[in-house]
């Protein structure tokens, strides 16, 4: 072993070895592939190893830097000047490769361009707007809970985690009824596209055509009903805040990120409550905990697992100097279970003070739809808490594989009336 040996993760085990391939000697190197089925099946063990290896790890599988500790992830999310989004928030560097679709005006931009778009979407999805939706969403959640109780045994992913957002979000957007079946496949495609050029991404791209065509069509002003989020975005054109060319791309942002994320958040919450009956009992006793039970599921499972940034200059993170134009991968899910930040990170605790978790990101790019996600999560869990006495897993669960999103494909459950 040489004095300058760097720890290396190989096959999941931590070895001391020369940092072969790492651009900086002495930096921990890992050959794990965070975009592989093995990783998706059990990310927590590898998250732990990455966190313990150091504040910055070189991923030799894809030649990118990676951060798995809360402090570094939070710091990078809050420093858009050094860690930009305009070169893409996936593995692809837009300075070197053409984006797979026209670049987002909000997710894949930096200030000052980002600020204008963010202000519009922030207003369209503001706390004041959420107040106007609450009653309608809560009534839809009550109906959904009654339907599910009538079924007794069902798949909590398709029949609940997907069905509820699909029952409220497209109407809130103002989308026509026909073609909505493209929404989830389009979102899966977009979130797969943040990953590397692997089989998941290639397969999604090969099947993209009809989903892209549908979403592109729905972004036009005439497709979007009055009173919805889509119409509100287009109204910002009349106010001179954005151009008529920009409005459809901002609608696209909501269609991309407004549904599958909530599906996986709600799926995570049901999966947690079914696995931890004592937490469900607490929720039953006090349905006002529904909102935090959802939030804690977002911390615990981190439905959006990763995002990248690109360095705009040479910068030091955790004692490691990183050059300009380098991709940095942030493990949001690992940060959300970092024992340096959380007292009992491995416990799903619906009374935890979750403020500060990075499941919705942090800083200027923090999820603009977070209030909508919380509203949907809260009203659905509150309706279940009032009506459903128990939630039990009723068969084998199956994981859904996506380069960015974490969630299940199938979660059979049996519920009993309260």
81: contact with other proteins by CB under 8 A: no
Measured CA to CA in angstroms, residue 303 lies from 70, 92, 345 at distances of 16, 21, 16
Among 216, 312, 370, 410, interactor with other proteins by CB under 8 A: 370
Residue (77 or 384) nearer to other proteins, CB: 77
Number of H helices, E strands in the chain: 16, 15
Burial 232-260 (b: 16+ CB within 10 A, else e): bbbebbeeebbeeebbbbbbbbbbbbbbb
Task: Give residues with Cβ within 8 angstroms of 209, minimum separation 6.
Answer: none
Among 1, 13, 20, 128, interactor with other proteins by CB under 8 A: 128
| Residue span binding other proteins (CB under 8 A) among the ranges 14-22, 26-34, 366-374, 402-410 | 366-374
- Per this entry, what is the length of the chain? 418
Among 197, 363, 390, 400, interactor with other proteins by CB under 8 A: 363
291: contact with other proteins by CB under 8 A: yes
Structure tokens at 275: 């696995």
| Residue span binding other proteins (CB under 8 A) among the ranges 122-130, 189-197, 225-233, 336-344 | 122-130
286: contact with other proteins by CB under 8 A: no
DSSP string over 262-291: HHHHHHHHHHHHHH-HHHHHHHHH-GGGHH
| Residue span binding other proteins (CB under 8 A) among the ranges 35-43, 178-186, 325-333, 362-370 | 362-370
Nearest partner of 106 among 254, 316, 258, 2, judged by Cα: 254
Among 35, 40, 214, 360, interactor with other proteins by CB under 8 A: 360
Task: Give the C-alpha separation, 119 to 106, whole Å.
Answer: 10
Among 5, 18, 71, 129, interactor with other proteins by CB under 8 A: 129
Task: Give residues with Cβ within 8 angstroms of 272, minimum separation 6.
Answer: 279, 293, 296, 297, 300, 301, 348
According to CB under 8 A, which residues from 373 to 402 bind other proteins?
374, 378
357: contact with other proteins by CB under 8 A: yes
Among 130, 184, 205, 315, interactor with other proteins by CB under 8 A: 130
**How many Cβ atoms sit within 10 Å of the Cβ of residue 221?**
15
340: contact with other proteins by CB under 8 A: no
In the complex, least distance from residue 355 CB atom to other proteins, rounded to whole angstroms: 4
153: contact with other proteins by CB under 8 A: no
135: contact with other proteins by CB under 8 A: no
Phi, psi of 182 (to 5 degrees): -80, -15
287: contact with other proteins by CB under 8 A: no
Q: What is the dihedral of CA 62, 404, 36, 318, to 10 degrees?
A: 50
Residue (86 or 354) nearer to other proteins, CB: 354
Residue (208 or 381) nearer to other proteins, CB: 381
47: contact with other proteins by CB under 8 A: no
122: contact with other proteins by CB under 8 A: yes
Name the region of 246 (left: φ>0; alpha: ψ -120 to 50; beta: rest): alpha
138: contact with other proteins by CB under 8 A: no
Residues that bind other proteins (CB under 8 A): 122-123, 126-131, 291, 295, 353-358, 360, 362-364, 366, 368, 370-371, 374, 378
């Amino acid at each position: 072993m040489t004095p300058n040996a760097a720890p290396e993760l190989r096959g999941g085990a931590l070895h001391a070895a020369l940092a072969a391939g790492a651009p900086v000697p002495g930096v921990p190197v890992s050959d794990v592939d965070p975009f592989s089925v093995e990783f998706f099946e059990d990310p927590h063990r590898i998250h732990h190893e990455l966190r313990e290896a150091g504040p910055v790890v070189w991923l030799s599988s894809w030649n990118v830097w990676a951060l798995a500790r809360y402090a570094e992830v939070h710091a990078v999310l809050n420093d858009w000047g050094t860690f930009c989004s305009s070169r893409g928030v996936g593995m692809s560097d837009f300075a070197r490769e053409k984006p797979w679709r026209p670049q987002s005006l909000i997710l894949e931009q930096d200030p000052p361009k980002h600020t204008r778009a963010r202000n519009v979407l922030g207003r369209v999805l503001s706390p004041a707007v959420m107040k106007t939706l609450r009653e309608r969403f809560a009534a839809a959640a009550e109906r959904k809970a009654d339907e599910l109780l009538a079924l007794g045994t069902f798949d909590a992913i398709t029949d609940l985690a997907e069905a509820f957002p699909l029952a409220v979000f497209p109407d809130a957007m103002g989308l026509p009824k026909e073609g909505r079946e493209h929404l989830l496949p389009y979102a899966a495609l977009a979130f797969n596209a943040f990953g590397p050029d692997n089989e998941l991404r290639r397969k999604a791209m090969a099947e993209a055509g009809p989903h892209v065509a549908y979403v592109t069509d729905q972004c036009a002003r005439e497709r979007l009903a009055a009173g919805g989020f889509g119409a509100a975005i287009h109204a910002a054109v009349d106010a001179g805040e954005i151009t008529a060319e920009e409005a459809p791309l901002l609608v696209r942002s909501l269609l991309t990120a407004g549904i599958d994320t909530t599906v996986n958040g709600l799926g995570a919450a049901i999966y947690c409550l079914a696995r931890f009956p004592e937490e469900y009992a607490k929720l039953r006793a006090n349905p006002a905990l529904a909102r935090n039970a959802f939030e804690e599921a977002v911390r615990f499972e981190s439905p959006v697992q990763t995002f990248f940034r690109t360095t705009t200059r040479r910068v030091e993170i955790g004692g490691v100097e990183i050059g300009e134009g380098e991709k940095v991968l942030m493990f949001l899910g690992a940060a959300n279970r970092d024992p340096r930040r959380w007292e009992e990170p491995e416990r799903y605790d619906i009374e935890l003070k979750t403020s500060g978790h990075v499941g919705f990101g942090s800083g200027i790019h923090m999820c603009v739809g977070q209030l909508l996600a919380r509203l949907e999560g809260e009203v659905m869990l509150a309706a279940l808490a009032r009506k459903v006495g128990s939630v039990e897993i009723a068969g084998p669960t199956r994981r859904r594989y996506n380069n960015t999103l974490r969630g299940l494909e199938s979660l059979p459950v049996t519920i009993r009336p309260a």
